[in-house]
Amino acid sequence: MKTFKPLALAYLILLLMKISTAGAAVVPPKIAYKVTFPEAQAHYADIEMTVSGLKQPTLDLKMPVWTPGSYLIREFAKNIESLTATANGKAVAAPKTSKNTWHINTTGISTVVVKYKVYSFEVSVRTSFVDITHGFLSTTGIFLFPKGMLNQPSSIKIIPYKDWTTVSTSLEKVGDDQFTLTSPNFDILYDSPIEVGTQDVFGFDAAGVKYEVAMYGGGNYDKERLKKDMAKVVEAETAVFGENPNKHYTFIVHNRARGGGGLEHLSSTVLGASREQYGSESGYINFLGLVAHEHFHLWNVKRLRPIVLGPFDYETENYTTNLWIAEGFTAYYQNLIRRHAELYSVDSYLGDAVGDINTVENQPGTKVQPLAEASFDAWIKAYRPNENSYNTGISYYDKGAVVGMLLDLEIMNATGGKQSLDDVMKYMYNTYYKGKKRGYTDAEFKLAFEKFSGKNLDDFYAKYINGLAPIDYNKYLGYAGYKITDQLADSNNPTLGVSASNQPAGKKIVSMVLRDGAGWKDGISVGDEIVSVDGTPVTDMTTLMNGRKVGDKITVAVIRDGKPYSLPVTLLRNNRVQYKAEELPNPTAQQLAVRKKWLKQ
Ligand SMILES: [Zn+2]
């Protein structure tokens, strides 16, 4: 029972006032789009936008500059051309007032029709692509929004190109017409990509939700096997959060000669795949990993989210320090879910988990960039890498996955295998997404970890989230009766500490110089062409160290900016680590309970 407080009374009065004035409420303008593809062969989508019922003196139309889930300013307005506006059949001016804003004087005008073309030729899961085989509309780069009307509904009519037959999207259809769609607001529209073409569509039911898979581009996939295994992923992920909030969900899969990557949305996802990858076991399990990752996001980041990530500001960067939860934990679960759904073995799972540790430990940037900072700077660093990124940054996916594992083990250990990170995720989802109907703050997530682990995590955060301390992996893995050992600990192999590409053909051009390696200390630079070592021409970088030892002094001849240089270099030890997991002898009942909860073994 709830106490009736004065605040509640005031709210009731406000509510009554709202109801009593509802009859006089201003009817918002109607927004309708028509999408046609008269020049699909030249990669254009043509948009006609009608805004009617206007009662305002001016109308600003805006294009988002980024697409949520992909933290980079992409300037989608760069693809717009030939924008014109008409009212009552007459042209009206629509000058640009900023890089992504068109301004229309609507004094005395109730209906404006705006037409524009969108050049769509960037192959990725977050950008639009049109050719005669299909139209993929990444909606943030296709539909202008009227300033101040992000909460308004809109309708979308699609006129398909020639023989295109099918629309795949999570947007609601009007009646049974798949070519007429509606969106309740722009957050939904911008979170609902649209695939139009002749894609191969099949479905399955899982967790009480209707799933649709739209396969563009063909491929050697086995539909029946996919239906069965994708349903297992869905069920295992739903079990983490305790409910699946969608009625229907759409997987749009772009199969190309070579493809990968994915982008999450509220009720759909776009996946990239290689046409032939389903044929091998590793290719198939990798595809299921991508499915598990993007589908997990429908909870983690789309609903349970950092407070700035929804509602979004579509016109600027939206900064958060929590992508290590939003992306890193999703990366952790993409492996764990495949294990829990028994799609792969304990050994395969442990191999992947330790693989993440190796990736983190071998990257010099892990000693430079704290995890929270990697998240905050995603816009200018992770999404804008350069030749030195490996030395200066760490991936919030890789280290976030590792930290997720540590916290999971901490909670399982504290509760004797009764609770896990799953319980934190479910609690946060229920408390913030469903309860408070907002995102979480960094402090709120930390409190939840502390609640379930029964520990103060100030030190953990200071060391591993906001700091650069080395991670004591074996403390955490020991909770489950495992330890990792470095298979290369006793090695003393020399290395030059540089990577070189083979482009242009036959030339060894330095592409990366490893921080604190021999090349770094003795002055080899990115861009150098390595010509010879001790007078012997270099034809193969992989055999360069044959017969050499740590401490050897060599002379590396390079060409830099057209000039020859001779660099004396002292070879240093290759400090790469290669951890491997092994079981501790005589595990205790507590360790076995944690292991059972973690690995379902
Ligand atoms: Zn992700």
Q: What is the pLDDT of residues 328-344, one digit of tens each?
A: 999 999 999 999 999 99
As to burial, measured by CB atoms within 10 angstroms (0-12 exposed, 13-18 middle, 19+ buried), residue 33 is buried
Cα–Cα distance for residue pair 436/427, rounded to 1 Å: 12
Question: What confidence score (pLDDT) does residue 21 get?
Answer: 46
With bands split at pLDDT 50, 70 and 90, how would you rate the model's confidence at 53?
A: very high
What is the 3-state composition of the chain as percent helix, strand, coil, each rounded to the nearest 5? 35, 30, 40
Of 491, 515, 512, nearest to 573 (Cα)?
491
Question: What confidence score (pLDDT) does residue 505 get?
Answer: 81
Q: Share the mean pLDDT of the chain.
A: 95
Residues whose CB falls within 8 Å of the CB of residue 82, separated by 6 or more in sequence, listed in order: 115, 116, 117
Q: Calculate how far, in angstroms, residue 294's C-alpha sits from the geometric centre of ligand 1.
A: 6
- Read off the tokens for 271: 């996946």
What length does the chain have? Answer: 601
Q: Calculate how far, in angstroms, residue 580's C-alpha sits from the geometric centre of ligand 1.
A: 26
Q: Calculate how far, in angstroms, residue 530's C-alpha sits from the geometric centre of ligand 1.
A: 38
Q: Calculate how far, in angstroms, residue 575's C-alpha sits from the geometric centre of ligand 1.
A: 30
DSSP 542: G
Q: Calculate how far, in angstroms, residue 516's C-alpha sits from the geometric centre of ligand 1.
A: 32
With bands split at pLDDT 50, 70 and 90, how would you rate the model's confidence at 24?
A: low
pLDDT at 259 over 50: yes
Q: Calculate how far, in angstroms, residue 44's C-alpha sits from the geometric centre of ligand 1.
A: 29
Q: Calculate how far, in angstroms, residue 369's C-alpha sits from the geometric centre of ligand 1.
A: 20
372 contacts 443 by C-beta, under 8 angstroms: no
- Read off the tokens for 118: 């969108």
Question: What confidence score (pLDDT) does residue 503 get?
Answer: 78
Q: Calculate how far, in angstroms, residue 331's C-alpha sits from the geometric centre of ligand 1.
A: 7
Give Cα 316 to chain centroid, integer Å.
18
Q: Calculate how far, in angstroms, residue 191's C-alpha sits from the geometric centre of ligand 1.
A: 15
Q: Calculate how far, in angstroms, residue 153's C-alpha sits from the geometric centre of ligand 1.
A: 28
Q: Calculate how far, in angstroms, residue 573's C-alpha sits from the geometric centre of ligand 1.
A: 36
pLDDT at 561 over 70: yes
Residue that is written with structure tokens 């079981």 in the block: 583
Q: Calculate how far, in angstroms, residue 546's C-alpha sits from the geometric centre of ligand 1.
A: 41
DSSP 202: E
Task: Please give the single-letter amino acid code of residue 221.
Answer: Y
Of 297, 289, 295, nearest to 339 (Cα)?
289
361 contacts 489 by C-beta, under 8 angstroms: no
Q: Calculate how far, in angstroms, residue 327's C-alpha sits from the geometric centre of ligand 1.
A: 5
Q: For the residues 265-280, what does the mean pLDDT come to?
A: 98
With bands split at pLDDT 50, 70 and 90, how would you rate the model's confidence at 25?
A: low
Q: Calculate how far, in angstroms, residue 124's C-alpha sits from the geometric centre of ligand 1.
A: 14
pTM reported for the whole predicted model: 0.94
Q: Calculate how far, in angstroms, residue 356's C-alpha sits from the geometric centre of ligand 1.
A: 15
- Read off the tokens for 104: 């229309």
Ligand 1 ion: residues within 5 Å (CB): 327, 330
Task: Please give the single-letter amino acid code of residue 298.
Answer: L
Q: Calculate how far, in angstroms, residue 399's C-alpha sits from the geometric centre of ligand 1.
A: 14
Cα–Cα distance for residue pair 375/327, rounded to 1 Å: 9
Of 21, 33, 281, nearest to 159 (Cα)?
33
